Amino acid sequence: MLDTDTKRRIDTARDILVGKVPDPKSQVEQITIALIYKFMDDMDAEAEELGGKRKFFAGDYARYGWAKLMRSGLGGHETLNLYAEAIAKMPENPGIPPLFRDIFKNA
């Protein structure tokens, strides 16, 4: 059983991440999509560190990378709009595998 402090932290994090989505199942789905998105950017960053090239957020999709999405100076509405645009365009990204493309298609 969770203590009161842990439950409060979980509720606060959930409200920040997906507070506008009332259905818990949809909340989990949105968090999962965001984690996949972040994972793709982390893989690109690791490839660059090892001397390779970005493949998920390359070309026209470079502007949607997680670091660019979370950069300072970008307001809340700007971040939300850029993320929403990225999610909408991600199924067309030729640099992502079909599984990821299908996930973003249904986002």
Angle between helices 24-49 and 76-89 (to 10 degrees): 80
Q: Are 96 and 40 in contact (CB under 8 A)?
A: yes
Main-chain dihedrals φ then ψ at residue 97, nearest 5 degrees = -70, 160
Q: What's the pLDDT score for residue 1?
A: 65
> Has residue 18 been placed in a domain?
no
Domain membership flag for residue 73:
yes
Question: pLDDT band at 20, cuts 50/70/90?
Answer: low
**In which domain, by residue range, is 64 found?**
54-107
Of 71, 69, 66, 70, residue with least CA distance to 45: 66
pTM given for the model = 0.75
72 domain-assigned? yes
Domains contained in the chain, number: 1
In a domain, 43, yes or no: no
Give a yes or no: residue 67 inside a domain. yes
Q: Is 23 part of a structural domain of the chain?
A: no
Measure CA of the first residue to CA of the last residue in the chain; give whole Å: 32
The answer to the question of residue 59 being in a domain is yes
CA pair distance 21, 50, nearest whole angstrom: 39
Q: How many residues does the chain have?
A: 107
pLDDT digits (tens, 9 = 90+) for 38-60: 999 999 999 999 999 999 999 99
pLDDT, tens digit, 9 for 90 and up, residues 70-104: 888 888 889 889 999 999 999 999 989 998 888 88
